[in-house]
Chains A and B, each alone.
Chain A
Amino acid sequence: GAGVSQSPSNKVTEKGKDVELRCDPISGHTALYWYRQRLGQGLEFLIYFQGNSAPDKSGLPSDRFSAERTGESVSTLTIQRTQQEDSAVYLCASSFVLVNQPQHFGDGTRLSIL
């Protein structure tokens, strides 16, 4: 596609529910990244994929968070048993390779936990 696409753009859910966020990277981009941005803050790195492999999951905030990627295509970020502290904008980015390349961002999913 022309750019990184994320869905849904907004998600409101009750505390304790599971949510799944989707990211479609730019075609041909091998690297894919997930970030979290709390209101008025910078971006907090969560996880990256090189192809469908995620070598380092230590950036995920808790074991309620998990992520998958199918080949060099779609990725999903799943948050189980959501908490109010999970409320944030979740941004996805992709790039051709890992090093010395700009990252191209989607517009994010705004997640609100009631």
Chain B
Amino acid sequence: SQQGEEDPQALSIQEGENATMNCSYKTSINNLQWYRQNSGRGLVHLILIRSNEREKHSGRLRVTLDTSKKSSSLLITASRAADTASYFCATDQIYSGGGADGLTFGKGTHLIIQP
């Protein structure tokens, strides 16, 4: 299956700065989702953006989607130490049969917020 690619693989910034992570994918999608994973835990859903949407906000999070470039970005503003985690993009792909099944995840961006 096709896989999303996050960029960068790792990011270390100072508390209070903004963090931007990018994601590219390869196939047509129903939606793109961003998840956070703290060490040793499951994934927590952050934002879902549908293929007909271009931008979405949730608190300090801003997600953009460019379907022509098959790319998305996640911006975390005014970062906090608690934002330290791995962040994954996941695509909900459209198959020729019109259905969709599991999400296709990238390898993630490991974000470290320095206090």
Contact = CB atoms under 8 A, between A and B. Distances in A.
- Classify chain A: how many residues form its interface, as a range: 20 to 34
Interface string B29-51: 01101010000111111001010
B3 interface: yes
24 contacts: A4-B42, A42-B3, A42-B4, A42-B105, A43-B43, A43-B88, A48-B101, A48-B102, A59-B102, A91-B42, A91-B43, A98-B100, A98-B101, A99-B92, A100-B50, A100-B92, A103-B33, A103-B45, A105-B35, A105-B42, A107-B40, A107-B42, A108-B41, A108-B42
Interface in B96-114: 99-108
Nearest to A104: B45
Interface of A: 4, 33, 35, 40-48, 55-56, 59, 91, 93, 98-108
Contact of B43 (A40, A44, A45, A105): A105
Contacts of B44: 105
A105 B88 CA distance: 13
A108 B48 CA distance: 22
Contacts of B99: 98-99
A108 B42 CA distance: 6
Interface residues of B, number: 28
* List of 9 A-B pairs having minimum Cβ-Cβ separation, nearest first: A45-B102, A105-B42, A102-B45, A42-B105, A43-B105, A42-B107, A105-B43, A107-B42, A48-B101
B1 interface: yes
B112 to A, nearest CB: 15
A48 B95 CA distance: 15
Nearest to A40: B107
Contacts of A99: 30, 92, 99-100
Given A56-B101, A100-B30, A107 B41 contact: yes
